[in-house]
Amino acid sequence: MTPNVVTTVLSAATPEFAGGKSRDLCSLEEVREELDLGDRRADRWLQKQITNESETVETFCNRIFRAQYYQDHFWPFRDSVPRKFEADLLPLQLARWPIACGTSHAGIAPPRRPSLSAVAGSAPVATVFFVRISYVTSTGETAASLESGLAVGPGQLLQVASPVQDVGDRAIGWNCYIGTSPNKGTLQNASPISIGQDLTLPAAELVPGHALPDYVLVVEEGIKAPDGTISARPLAEGVDFTVNAEEGQIIRLHPLSRHARSWSSWPLIIQYRGGFDEVPHPVRMATVELVKFRWFARKRDPGVKSENVEGIYQADYWLGTGPGGPADMPSFVADRLDRYRVPVIA
């Protein structure tokens, strides 16, 4: 049996086209050029249709095209022995693909979820902070850790505890990302902080530094530590797992041989950016064609092949059975989108 997967959008897409919604698949200017419009009286109507037809394309393809930040929480079915996914060596399939993240070359796992506290200070107002941290090595930075949050009252300051040194002593410092909204933190230190040195946030406003590192985060949950406590264990990209970005798959690796191995039956948290940073050209053109179709359908139905008043009124259509009916996607548009369709298994 395949594992149960709960997918959550941690950060929604940002608009790619000026004046459009976050998941619009083409721009107003592309549509205006296609229709050869001189004035802008219809811009509001066209923008509305772009959003509507973008949703039509997403529904037809059964996918969201614009890149968003997701969390897939895997809950595997567990047998007594052996405790592993039934898929065995098969990679884990993420809910959204392609994976738009880069590759971390740090060579070590990210730190665990940060420990936060409030210390005496001079902050004027109460604030809720959300914090993620990462290791820095000589070869790069890890993905950011899972997020911690803390409400800090007036007259207090936020303190972020340093992560412990990694097992291989490869970390040369750590970075701290803080925000007032979940998964929106920015870098608060000008240079990597030494391991063992905590960070106390000044009373001044947050620094608008770099955004969170754009890497895949994989965390195994339910790991029992030697002291008996249950915790989550982050995995190292390139050491514990590798990413097939095009197919949206995560492959477990043996840390020594780097060969593919089975996933243990621990629950997994995987955070990643899935989708396209730029809408593929065929998808953009398909959306433009649909808006164009709607434009010429304002005063007549362009799908009508013939009309007959006998009996009273009968219409034959070039495609499907009419607007809203089955197979009402124009064939020339469907041809553009076929390669992007995600199959649905009932």
Q: How far is CA 97 from CA 244, 274, 287, in A?
A: 10, 5, 20
Q: What are phi and psi of 257, to 5 degrees?
A: -85, -20
Residue 205: pLDDT over 90: no
Please give the DSSP secondary-structure letter assigned to residue 12.
P
pTM of the model: 0.86
Rg of the chain over Cα atoms, rounded to whole angstroms, equals: 25
Among 92-96, 136-140, 149-153, 262-266, which is the least confidently predicted range? 262-266
pLDDT at 321: 44
pLDDT of residue 328: 64
Structure tokens at 141: 């930075």
Which of these ranges, 110-119, 142-151, 262-271, 305-314, has the smallest mean pLDDT?
305-314
Query: Percentage of the chain surpassing pLDDT 90?
Result: 65
Interatomic CA distance for residues 153 and 155, integer angstroms: 6
Residue whose entry in the numeric block shows the structure tokens 């433009």? 288
Examine the pLDDT at 154 and tell me if it is beyond 80.
yes
In this prediction, residue 281 carries a pLDDT of: 96
pLDDT at residue 324, as a whole number: 44
Q: Please give the Cα distance from 309 to 51 (Å, whole number).
A: 36
Whole-number Cα distances in Å, 311 to 61, 300, 305, 308, 322: 39, 21, 18, 8, 19
Q: What is the pLDDT of residues 61-114, one digit of tens each?
A: 999 999 999 999 998 776 555 555 544 557 899 999 999 999 999 999 999 999
Mean pLDDT throughout 305-333? 62
User: What is the pLDDT averaged over residues 132-138?
Assistant: 98
Residue bearing the bigger pLDDT, 205 or 183: 183
pLDDT of residue 126 exceeding 90, the answer is no
* Residue 300 CB-half CA count within 13 A: 9
Task: Note if the bond before 98 is cis, omega within 30 degrees.
Answer: yes
Q: Is the pLDDT of residue 325 over 50?
A: no
Q: How high is the pLDDT of residue 312?
A: 66
The DSSP result for 75-120, as a single string, is E----SSS-B-TTTTSPEEPSS-SB------S-SPPPPSPPEEEEE
Q: What is the mean pLDDT of the chain?
A: 88
Q: Distance between the two ends of the chain, CA-based, in angstroms?
A: 16
Q: Which of 134, 12, 92 shows the shortest CA–CA distance to 270?
A: 92
Highest mean pLDDT among 16-20, 272-276, 297-301: 272-276
Tell me, what's the pLDDT at 326? 46
pLDDT exceeds cutoff 90 at 228: no
Q: Residue 149 pLDDT more than 70?
A: yes
Q: Name the helix (H) or strand (E) containing 64.
A: none
- Residue 252: name the closest of 243, 241, 236, 266 by CA: 241
Residue 189 and residue 147 in contact, taking contact as beta carbons nearer than 8 Å: no
pLDDT band per the 50, 70, 90 thresholds, residue 121? confident
Assign 323 a pLDDT band (cuts: 50, 70, 90).
very low
Sign of dihedral through CA atoms 257, 259, 264, 267?
Answer: positive
Q: Is residue 196 within 8 Å of residue 162, measured between CB atoms?
A: yes
Q: What pLDDT score does 75 carry? A: 87
